[in-house]
Structure 1
Amino acid sequence: MQRYILGKKNQITLISAILIVFGFYGKFGIDNMFIFNWSLIIASILGIAPIAIQAYQALKVKVVSIDVLVTIAVVGAMLIQNYEESAIVTFLFLFGAYLEQRTLNKTRSAIKELTELAPESALKQMENGEFDEVDVDDVDEGDVLLVKTGAKVPVDGTVLIGEGHINEASITGESLPVGKKNGSEVFAGTILENGTIQIQADRVGEDTTFGQIIELVEEAQDSKSAAERFIDKFSKYYTPAVLVLGIIVWLFTNNVELAITVLVLGCPGALVIGVPVSNVSGIGNGARNGVLLKGSEVINDFSKVDTIVFDKTGTLTIGNPEVVEKEFYGKDMDEVLGYLASVERESDHPLAKAVLEDIGETKFSTVEETEVVKGGGIVAKVAGHRIAVGNIALMKQENIVLNEKAKKDVEHFEKNGNSLVLTAVDGELKALMGVRDQIRPGVKQDLQKLKKLGVKNLVVLSGDNQGTVDLVARELGLTEAHGHMLPEGKSAYIEKLQAEGQIIAFVGDGVNDSPSLALADIGIAMGSGTDVAIETSDVVLMNSDFSRLPHALGLTKSTARNMKQNIIIAVGVVLILLAALLFSNWMNMTIGMLVHELSILVVILNGMRLLGYRLRGN
């Protein structure tokens, strides 16, 4: 019966409204007090039923909720035969709950839209080479899938055959289609606007980028911030305090109606709902715009950040370095390049890939006794020769002597912002390559936006040489730049900044960034970074879109500000209502309940403004 009544709350609200209108028609239209009184009595009984059930359920778990206050107030009003007050108060309370639920549903529309975008089926290549439609849950990694014009991409994968343009708005927030061809990466939940492509499934189910977005947003929306936890605790004690205040007023004034009115006016509904609606709206906006905020706590901490520390490669730069300068020392360079390519083939480091791409086709040899020197490079035996490939530190460790020309070349390469790859064969320097990464387009403007949002310090920490890091820092206008930094060095530097009282956000994308992401007050991972970095972080910029960072910071600042506004509105309304009750003659239970419900609606609408937040200048 309880479940049935609670399930019919909206219908009860409508019937109560009709009865109230009918009752007032009986009084003022046909001067019939019988119709007036019994219409309002029935409306009061119907209206109090779901409220009383909710009050009972709250008391069972030892919580004195708002429903308890309203139930006592309405029963009291009926006992003193103030049916007009009891009927209108129950109607306003139920109607307020209806409006609250309706508007809150809108704030959760981001996750709903994401869920609706989730693909349900896929065209999978079977053993006979034909493509059959299967449930998306039946797709495994490595399967070949066909995606036609207008269809959703069912999994994360790589294009094998075909070309087309894909709308990636569900992942990145950008509405402009992105061109895809052989080798391009595609994401589940995106839509192929034209063309036909075949893709190989790389990540399926919950492991897809889209699946992770839904999971993270759901977790974020279910989490509670410090402000919400404080308000929950505050309400736990505040509601009984209002009840005690009502009893005290009744004992000292012997005025039951005044005591009941205190209970109604003291309801903290707007305070309880104000902060959660701000958080949910902020998280929803982020999800729509390619920013994953992992919980309400993140919003509060991120809004206070005054220093942002960046990894360089893959964060400030594109992460696709190329060999732009090179010098050779000695003869038989084809043989040396073959040794170099053989060693670099053993590594998955971006610099190694750049060197291999530059060398191109060559003769590979067997590599033996490989030793990876942390922060230095690789030493190995190739065709009976000791090959050392790495930076200046490795050359010093290997006692490689650089002649004057080589020293000048090194200095010149570093001034040009290159990362150095030196190759020595049997203790003699043979080759010097300068590898340079390109700065991400638009990063400089994005960093300026961060400064306008109140970030005082922009710091880059990198394993690259100091010359390269200084060049990037000068070009981007960064506050500090530190090169030759190993992972533990980055973590130690972040700890040093935190000890100085700075609130740190760290932005990175690699496995080596994970300790710094975890240590910083806010860890921010680029979406195309490693799974470890994404799992460790508090914020994820989907599709590695750096321009989302200013939006994320501006959004969290607006959300934190919105929370404070809602708290001020909620507390202010209660204080004004109580003051009006004590120091004026016009305040009564009906007016108080009406203002109370309006305050709830105001804080909800104020919170919902965050759904449309856009950073100024975007």
Structure 2
Amino acid sequence: MKKMKSWRVVIVSGLLIVASWLTQGRLSDALMIAAAVVVGWQIAVSAIQALRIKVISIDLLVMVAAIGALFLQNWWESAAVTFLFALGKALERATLNKTRKALSDLVDAAPETATVLRDDEPVQVEIWELVPGDIVLVRNGEQIPVDGRVVSGRGGVDEATITGESVPAEKAEDSEVFAGTWLRSGVLRVEAVGIGADSTLAKIIRRVEDAQDDKAKTQTFLEKFSQWYTPGVMVAALLVGLITRNTELALTLLVIACPGALVISIPVSIVAGIGRAAKDGVLIKGGEYLETSAKVDAVVVDKTGTLTNGTPVLTNVDVLDPSYSAEQVLTLAARAETASEHPLAEAIIRGAEDRGLQVDMVDYAEPVTGKGILAEVDGVSVTVGSAELLEVAPDNARILELNEQGKTAMYVGVNGAAVGIVAVADTIRADAPAAVDALHKRGVKVIMATGDAERVARNVAAELGVDEVRAELLPEDKLDIVKELQGQGLTVAMVGDGVNDTPALAQADIGVAMGAAGSPAAIETADIALMADKLPRLPYALSLAQRTVRTMKVNIGIALFTVAVLLAGVLLGDVTMSIGMLVHEASVLIVIVIAMLLLRPTLHEEEPAGVGARVADAEAAGAGAGAASGAASGAAR
């Protein structure tokens, strides 16, 4: 409403100016004075409100100039200055609203109603009527109204509002879904967990609101500068008027020295940059963190779950006894592991099932601490683990070779003799190489920090091409690494899981959380939260931060150049009050338009080539060089 009123005032003032041009004499003068008063009173109110809180605003400079022009009976200059200033402000508000479009889109995405099942009957209710535990029905084409867990059904969900992903994510029983996303296929029944203000979408909206209002260090400096600059301009104009006895020159100086473009250059860039990032599923905490991110030249990355998938998978099945096939060796190992609770057991069982093998439970099994498991499978004794479980000493050259590749390798024995070897490994994420390469292209040093064994870490590092490897670390060791890099004068970003890496994340200049969509704590606390579990979003975030800072610098340069040119024009006698205000407002709009270029989509992600190719086929010995997350001794369990 206020926006429409400001435009109406500007239009009325413009029509009065046109009418003044079409008439003559006193009527023409009266219409021009009316044009100045129509918009001038709003500027005067704004100036007085600022003075009440002891702020000398740009509005005050304009009003002094406009009133002075009226006293000099320069009706056109007074009307032109106030009209152009009001027009500039209206256009400025309109364009600023566009820079905040990412936030308004998020707000618009918030659902207002839901279909809840009451006695197995669908009932339409308002969001506030839901309680945790309610079962919500979501049909094809409908918006998911709550954060929750799928209890039944299957479908593809467009999660662009949360993660920035354009490809729908497949959801089935026990999958996590988020409010504000859209079901593009299928039907889902969802148990409500986060409702309204407790939803991930609401947390993102709050985070982006706070971030867009947060001030960068450069902005804070400019605001402090303008607090002294604006009254300084008034004093300078007064002195010029007293020295030259030229009141019109003094008033013109007031107009051309307005720091409008300078003051707006930083906040509009921050709003646009943070808004674009939010649109692409990257939450940046605020302007200060945006500026710091642009300076990052070292990234410390946790290995497990960040550079690797974090889940062991079966990579190798070797046959040592020709009377057995690879399928038989794997079946024996998997059946023996059905009685084990060891984390590696699941990888072997899952590997067998993925290859279409039948994995039945065993009747009897006995775990042997630190060595493996002993089981009875179809009347024969089967062992899976180290050589110590075997009665016949095997050739361990192949085990050592697999261990050197960073894999956890285990013998499969039948009645005390080795018949095969199975190996598991935590494989490298398909998008990790591209992310590391993108960081290197931006001149960022990549340091991998992990609590895993040295040989495991070095295998991962060799495949990814990271600059430095630190292995066998405790959480406090990662903290020391960050401090060490900062001591070298580097600006450090730390990427971790936010639990055991908390000390290092807190110490780093920028703490980064990945896959934050399912972690409300990460959304609230991380300096940069990557909503999607995609490592390439990190170099994208740093690149966007650099673009934003460059835009800020360009805008500051334009603002200062404009003031300098106008000042020279005034001193040479070629710039009038109205021309000065026109150029001033044009510079403000140019600054805003340049900042709006940040809103252009620049995120281009492709599915990494050969997804899953790093997981070796069961029969392909030595294929895949993923890193093991097991103990330093590959055979030990």
Q: TM-score, normalised by structure 2?
A: 0.81
Per-residue CA deviations over 1:379-423 (Å, capped at 9, x if unaligned) read xxx99x994589xxxxxxxxx99999798676434322226899x
* CA displacement at 1:88 relative to structure 2: 0.5
Aligned-partner Cα distance in 2 for 1:438–1:335 = 23
Aligned-partner Cα distance in 2 for 1:254–1:518 = 61
1:166 equivalenced with 2:154 (yes/no): no
Per-residue CA deviations over 1:186-234 (Å, capped at 9, x if unaligned) read 2221111121111223433333322221121111112111011111101
Cα pair distance change 1:407/1:197, threshold 3 Å: same
Secondary structure, counterpart of 2:131 in structure 1:
coil
- How many residue pairs match? The answer is 564
* CA displacement at 1:613 relative to structure 2: 4.4
Which residues of structure 1 form unaligned runs of 5+? 27-31, 345-349, 366-381, 391-399, 423-430
Instruction: Report which of the two has the higher share of helix.
Output: 1
1:250 is matched with 241
* CA displacement at 1:319 relative to structure 2: 2.6
Aligned-partner Cα distance in 1 for 2:25–2:97 = 41
- Matched to 1:294, the amino acid is K
Quick one: which of 183, 197, 202 aligns to 1:206?
197
Secondary structure, counterpart of 2:233 in structure 1:
helix
1:49 equivalenced with 2:33 (yes/no): no
Aligned-partner Cα distance in 2 for 1:138–1:153 = 15
Quick one: which of 447, 471, 475 aligns to 2:463?
475
Secondary structure, counterpart of 1:321 in structure 2:
strand
Aligned-partner Cα distance in 2 for 1:209–1:263 = 49
Aligned-partner Cα distance in 2 for 1:405–1:481 = 34
1:17 is matched with 14
CA contact (8 A) 1:55 1:65 kept: yes
CA contact (8 A) 2:515 2:531 kept: yes
Per-residue CA deviations over 1:454-497 (Å, capped at 9, x if unaligned) read 31x11111122222221221111111122212211111111111
Aligned-partner Cα distance in 2 for 1:445–1:45 = 61
CA contact (8 A) 2:431 2:534 kept: no
Cα pair distance change 1:297/1:599, threshold 3 Å: same
Cα pair distance change 1:296/1:22, threshold 3 Å: same
1:505 is matched with 493
1:118 equivalenced with 2:118 (yes/no): no
- Matched to 1:270, the amino acid is A
* CA displacement at 1:5 relative to structure 2: 9.7
1:77 is matched with 69
CA contact (8 A) 1:506 1:520 kept: yes
Cα pair distance change 1:616/1:577, threshold 3 Å: farther
Aligned pairs for 1:380-459 within 5 A: 387-388=369-370, 411-418=400-407, 434-455=423-444, 457-459=445-447
Aligned-partner Cα distance in 1 for 2:603–2:281 = 14
Higher relative contact order (CA 8 A, sep 6+): 2
Quick one: which of 533, 545, 549 aligns to 1:556?
545
CA contact (8 A) 1:555 1:615 kept: no
1:293 is matched with 284
CA contact (8 A) 1:121 1:134 kept: yes
Aligned-partner Cα distance in 2 for 1:339–1:333 = 11
Out of 526-535 and 240-249, give the one that drifted further.
526-535
CA contact (8 A) 2:110 2:180 kept: yes
Q: Percent identity?
A: 42
Cα pair distance change 1:484/1:356, threshold 3 Å: farther
- Matched to 2:21, the amino acid is F
Per-residue CA deviations over 1:279-331 (Å, capped at 9, x if unaligned) read 0000110011111111111110000001111111221122332244699xxxx
Aligned-partner Cα distance in 2 for 1:103–1:389 = 68
1:525 is matched with 513
- Matched to 1:605, the amino acid is V
1:428 is matched with none
Aligned-partner Cα distance in 1 for 2:186–2:316 = 40
CA contact (8 A) 1:414 1:465 kept: no
Per-residue CA deviations over 1:231-261 (Å, capped at 9, x if unaligned) read 1101100000000000110111011000000
CA RMSD of aligned residues (A): 3.2
1:566 equivalenced with 2:555 (yes/no): yes
Quick one: which of 569, 575, 597 aligns to 1:587?
575
Aligned-partner Cα distance in 1 for 2:605–2:347 = 37
1:545 is matched with 534
Out of 353-362 and 263-272, give the one that drifted further.
353-362
Aligned-partner Cα distance in 2 for 1:489–1:438 = 24
Secondary structure, counterpart of 2:156 in structure 1:
strand
CA contact (8 A) 1:505 1:521 kept: yes
1:104 equivalenced with 2:96 (yes/no): yes
2:626 is matched with none
1:575 equivalenced with 2:564 (yes/no): yes
1:138 equivalenced with 2:138 (yes/no): no
CA contact (8 A) 2:339 2:361 kept: no
CA contact (8 A) 2:399 2:410 kept: no
2:208 is matched with 217
